[in-house]
Amino acid sequence: MKNYNNTLESGAGNMVSYDADNSADELWSFIDDHLLHYGRDFVRELIGHASGSYLYTTEKRAIIDFSSGQMCATLGHNHPAIVDAMTRSAETVIHLDSTMLAPAIAHLGKELCDLLPAELSKVLFLNTGAESNEAAIRLAKLYTGGFEIVGLTGSWHGTTYGAASSTYASGRKGYGPSMSGSLAIPSPNCYRCPIGHKRESCELACLNFSFDYIDEVSVGSIAAILIEPVQSAGGIIVPPKGYMKRLREFCRERSILLIFDEAQTGLGRVGSNFAFEQEAVIPDILSLSKTLGAGLPLSATVTSKEIAESVQAKGYSHYTSHASDPLTTEVGLAVVRTIVTEELASKADELGLYLMNSLHTLQEKYECIGDVRGRGLLIGVEIVKDRESRIPDKQRLKRLTQRCFELGLNINQVGGPLAVWRIAPPLTIKKEEIDLAMEILDKAFASTEI
């Protein structure tokens, strides 16, 4: 009988159980033998615990987490408010039949919608971003009677059927036909304009082209356009000024619903509660996920009373085993309250500017940094062979990422064929932690220069 009562002391002073009977090599043999590979390779260090902006390996090595876990730990790792919410739910109720509701969901529904415009007042709580986008797609189809969904190249909305059909950043090949009616328009990448324009002469040419294109290829049954206000997996693509307003007009002209996927931009990440606030554009449907659960699987699909009542009359169904689960909604309530009371959106705006300026300083020093872009604490750093050619340098990015990890900084690579770092530390990060991360980045660039 193995002993599972060994403990490791965490940075917060708590005792975390783990199994010390197996060496790291033995544990990795278990992983290699039994875990199904599902994408990128695993980091070959085991994480013993996490606290705030830091991860700690089982070898007690500290690593600053500039990825906020899988973009979810926006309050930092093991935030006391999250731990308290989980404990509260564990002591009362964790799971219910989806027709039964705990008090926390009533509070969360109200307090989340209080942060939103009056047009967005009806919410469905689910688990993952893919689920929230599936629910949004089904809402749009039932409400409009259309079936075509327009996405953007470089987008990421999830790996379930409908969400995956509108995901173009990666993972499309080899799985057979996409959902019928899946259409795509070019990503508004100003650093690499899809139709060859320059930033200073943009005039939203790619979007104007897209309107004409969609009008030609559609069979006349478009239900919705599904878009991230800032594309994350696609390489931190920030649309040019006026893009979203013109897109809103396009949708209204054609009676198409506009869906904003704010899985990674919602709840303070970009320096406002929601990215659409910065655009002065209100979507018909809003999906939220990663930042709402702050590390736990919680998502939401939000829409108007008009749409909600219309689809209810038509028999709308998106029933899942974990809709409105007490545990995750208790955590979501803690997240919303923490973001509001600690003013984390404004802090993300302030710290994001500080971080952006620090990265621009590095850009002046290293030729391989082609572009620095983003909003708030969602920033992309594009690595190129040289600034004239702008050829993505994925090999250098790989070396840089590995070197950063060795020096104690975790950064995520995104961008598909591009070579882009997604820099997204917790909203609770401190300036001195940003300064330390910049020192590590500087060392990594210096040590990998050719």
Domain 21-34+44-78+343-448 has CATH 3.10.450.50: no
Choosing from 122, 264, 413, 421, the catalytic residue is: 264
User: Is the pLDDT confidence value at 65 over 90?
Assistant: yes
Contacts of 333 (CB under 8 A, 6+ apart): 85, 104, 107, 108, 111
d(CA 297, CA 267): 15
CB 60 within 8 A of CB 48: yes
Question: Residue 429's closest CA among 373, 352, 369?
Answer: 352
Question: What percentage of the chain has pLDDT greater than the value 70?
Answer: 94
Candidates 65, 131, 156, 421; catalytic one? 156
User: How confident is the model over 385-394, as a mean pLDDT?
Assistant: 95
Verify whether residue 254 is a known catalytic residue. Answer: no
Q: Please give the single-letter amino acid code of residue 41.
A: D
264 is an active site residue: yes
Task: Give residue 38's pLDDT.
Answer: 87
What does the pLDDT read at residue 15?
Answer: 46
Once rounded to an integer, what is the mean pLDDT over residues 158-171?
Answer: 93
Residue 18 has a CB neighbour count (10 Å cut-off) of 16
The answer to whether residue 421 is catalytic is: no
Mean pLDDT of 426-450: 94
pLDDT of residue 16 exceeding 60, the answer is no
| Cβ atoms of 319 and 131 closer than 8 Å | no
Residue 91: active-site member: no
**Nearest to residue 148, comparing CAs of 247, 232, 214, 246?**
214
Under 8 Å CB-to-CB from 234, ≥6 apart: which residues?
152, 153, 154, 155, 156, 168, 169, 187, 189, 228, 414, 415, 416
User: In the numeric block, which tokens belong to residue 352?
Assistant: 């994001």
263 to 27, 207, 248: CA distances (angstroms):
33, 23, 20
pLDDT top residue among 312 and 203:
312
* Alpha carbons 27 and 57: distance in angstroms, whole number: 14
First-to-final CA distance of the chain: 53
Sign of CA pseudo-dihedral 312, 317, 319, 323: negative
Which pLDDT score is estimated for 195?
A: 82
Q: Which of 141, 248, 396, 422 is catalytic?
A: 422
pLDDT, position 2:
39
Active-site residue identified among 65, 228, 279, 330: 228
Q: How many CA atoms lie within 13 A of 124 on its CB side?
A: 30
Percent of the chain whose predicted confidence (pLDDT) is above 90: 88
- Give 259's strand partners: 226, 285
Q: Tell me, what's the pLDDT at 20?
A: 61
Joined tokens for residue 357: 């300026």
Q: pTM for this one?
A: 0.93
Find the catalytic residue in 290, 373, 375, 403. 290
Count CB atoms within 10 A of the CB of residue 1. Answer: 3
Residues 6+ apart with CB under 8 A from 448: 396, 399, 400, 403
What are the sequence ranges of the domains in the chain?
A: 21-34+44-78+343-448, 81-341
Per the CB < 8 A criterion, the answer to whether 382 and 235 are in contact is yes
Q: Which band of pLDDT confidence, cut at 50, 70 and 90, is reported for residue 122?
A: very high
Mean pLDDT for the chain overall:
93
Checking if the pLDDT of 416 tops 70, the result is yes
Strands (E), 18-132: 47-51, 54-57, 62-65, 122-126
More confident call, 424 vs 20: 424
Question: What pLDDT digit, counting tens, does each position of 322-375 carry?
Answer: 999 999 999 999 999 999 999 999 999 999 999 999 999 999 999 999 999 999
Q: What's the residue count for the chain?
A: 450
The 10s digit of each residue's pLDDT in 80-108 is: 999 999 999 999 999 999 999 999 999 99
Q: Which amino acid is at 14?
A: N
349 noted as active-site residue: no
- Provide the pLDDT for residue 22: 85
Q: Give the number of C-alpha atoms closer than 13 A to the C-alpha of residue 344, restricted to the C-beta side.
A: 25
Active site (annotated) includes residue 44:
no
pLDDT at 197 over 80: no
Query: Is the predicted pLDDT of residue 313 greater than 80, yes or no?
Result: yes
Residues 6+ apart with CB under 8 A from 240: 188, 190, 199, 202, 204
* 361 CB-near residues (< 8 Å, 6+ apart): none
Query: Which of 65, 134, 148, 261 is labelled catalytic?
Result: 261
Q: Which long-range contacts (CB under 8 A, 24 or more apart) does 43-51 make?
A: 43/405, 48/8, 48/16, 48/18, 49/8, 49/10, 49/11, 49/16, 49/78, 50/77, 50/78, 51/10, 51/11, 51/12, 51/76, 51/77, 51/78
- Among the residue ranges 12-16, 108-112, 287-291, 335-339, the one predicted with the least confidence is 12-16
User: What CATH number has the domain spanning 81-341?
Assistant: 3.40.640.10
Per DSSP bridges, beta strands 369-375 and 378-383 are antiparallel
